[in-house]
Amino acid sequence: MSDPLLWATIYFGVQILLGLPIGFVLISTVVVWAFFAGADMSLMAERVIFASVENIIVIAIPLFIFTAKVMDHGGISERLLRFCLALVGHRPGGLAQVNIVSSVIFSGMSGDATSDASGIGQVLIKMMREQDRYPPAYAAAVTVASSCIGPIIPPSIPMLVYAFFSGASVGALFLAGIVPGLLMGVAMMVLVARQARRRGFPTEKRMARAAMLSATLAALGPLMMPVILLGGIYSGAFTPTEAAAVAGLYAILLSVFLYRRSSWSGLYAALSESARQSGMVFLLIGGGFALNYVFTVEKVTEAITTAILSFEITQMQLLFLVHGAFVVMGMFLTKAPMMYVVIPALLPGLAAAGVDMVHFGVIITLNMMVSMITPPMGLMVFIVGGLARIPIGQIFRESIPFMLTLYAVMILITAFPELVLWLPGTFE
């Protein structure tokens, strides 16, 4: 290891241990490397960081974030929640089932786990806790587990980031996430039904037919958004980035003009919130791309590729080896270092080994999502526990069956790639 890379690695490790924001850590690590390597930092900033955030794929990220914020301010979540109640509220563990189905539907619009858990998830936790119908920790556990579906079913912000680093087709990644996302939802719903019978969880009163029809019609507008997005992309009407702009416009039309639930001040608030969140994402992408440049110059990616190709194992064994490494990392790291540091370094070696980039993108995104509910560093558990004021340890205990269920789905879609690749192959 050369001296510049050694100092940069030491600096990076210390900053991560101190818990500093990962975006600033990535950028400053590159600055430390450039200082010891004698590299032109202004040239790196111009060619690497700015080039990364001007990429056409990256532009879609703030647009999808904005769409989710507009929907949150526009009362669309309430319509979706009532529709989910009509759909599965009468099933065993009614509100827990609603929690999962709402995540499946909401994921087709937001693409972000945190938005799901901190938005509609908080509403459902409050509903589940009323009259002591569900233990508070169980309500939170269902919320954090179901929020993992958000970045799997399209649109998906992590998959947009992955497409930027890997060069994989955004459209193919979006389609590839549909079947795994639905499998996650079904698996957790089966788990909830079994837990409800064993633990005596209540069911909700079945809605009358007229009320069910009313709830469905009220939710029809939001439910059409995934159809418009995917239909537009695969009909060739617009690119994935243009689809993100269409989604934002459609959300405005619904929230401001059709439902009249959001004022212009609410729209400004959505713009302000999405700008702040997008700024954090851009900092991460720029820092990750810059660090990847350092890896290339220092031949780190070349060394990783050589090491991967030297393994006398099959592709499937290689994928499970990577899964195991990410599971361990997920216990101690947040999603960001894995997404913006580890994955870009691994991709050239995995591609050289013949791994399908679309398949890997879906399975590793699921792996990272489950790491967000895995102790001791499950970030989503800390977020939801803090918002709902529920002890973290209790949420972790209730999350274990959901975590194991999601890992089972991850193993399934890894062992049977056709579950991921069938839908993209159908639309090629």
What are the tens digits of pLDDT across the range 31-90?
999 999 888 877 777 766 676 667 788 888 888 888 888 887 777 878 888 899 899 988
Contacts of 59 (CB under 8 A, 6+ apart): 241, 244
Selection from 192, 197, 121 nearest residue 398 by Cα: 192
Digits of tens for pLDDT over the chain (428 positions)?
Answer: 458 899 999 999 898 888 788 888 888 998 999 999 888 877 777 766 676 667 788 888 888 888 888 887 777 878 888 899 899 988 999 899 999 998 898 877 766 677 677 677 788 888 899 878 899 999 999 999 999 998 899 888 899 999 989 999 998 999 999 999 999 999 999 999 999 999 999 888 888 889 899 999 988 988 888 888 888 888 888 888 898 899 889 989 988 888 887 778 888 888 898 888 888 888 888 888 888 888 888 888 889 899 998 988 999 999 999 999 999 988 887 788 889 889 999 999 999 999 999 999 999 999 999 998 888 878 888 888 888 889 999 999 999 999 999 999 999 999 999 999 999 988 76
Are 174 and 419 a contacting pair, CB within 8 Å?
no
For helices 357-371 and 418-426, angle between their N-to-C axes, nearest 10 degrees:
130
Can you tell me the distance from the alpha carbon of 93 to that of 200, in angstroms, rounded to the nearest whole number? Answer: 8
* Chain centre distance of CA 196: 28
Alpha helices, DSSP H, located in 112-156: 113-118, 120-129, 136-146
State the greatest distance between any 2 C-alpha atoms of the chain, in Å, as a whole number: 72
Are 410 and 323 a contacting pair, CB within 8 Å?
yes
Contacts of 403 (CB under 8 A, 6+ apart): 145, 370, 373, 374
Measured at the CA of 372, the angle between CA 233 and CA 341, to 5 degrees, comes to 70
How far the first Cα of the chain sits from its last, in Å, is 44
Identify the three-state secondary structure at position 413.
Answer: helix
For 268-279, give one letter per residue: b (16+ CB within 10 A) or e: ebbeebbeebbe
Can you tell me the distance from the alpha carbon of 341 to that of 294, in angstroms, rounded to the nearest whole number? Answer: 11
Whether residue 376 is preceded by a cis peptide bond, meaning omega within 30 degrees of 0, is yes
Identify the three-state secondary structure at position 353.
Answer: coil
Can you tell me the distance from the alpha carbon of 40 to that of 122, in angstroms, rounded to the nearest whole number? Answer: 48
What are the tens digits of pLDDT across the range 102-127?
889 887 776 667 767 767 778 888 88
Contacts of 247 (CB under 8 A, 6+ apart): 63, 64, 67, 109, 155, 225, 228, 229
The residue whose two tokens read 């990644």 is 173
Query: pTM value?
Result: 0.88
Q: What residue ranges do the domains of the chain occupy?
A: 1-39, 40-426
Are 190 and 98 a contacting pair, CB within 8 Å?
no
Can you tell me the distance from the alpha carbon of 103 to that of 105, in angstroms, rounded to the nearest whole number? Answer: 5
User: In a 10 Å sphere around its CB, with 0-12 CB exposed, 13-18 middle and 19+ buried, how is residue 221 labelled?
Assistant: middle
Can you tell me the distance from the alpha carbon of 281 to that of 54, in angstroms, rounded to the nearest whole number? Answer: 13
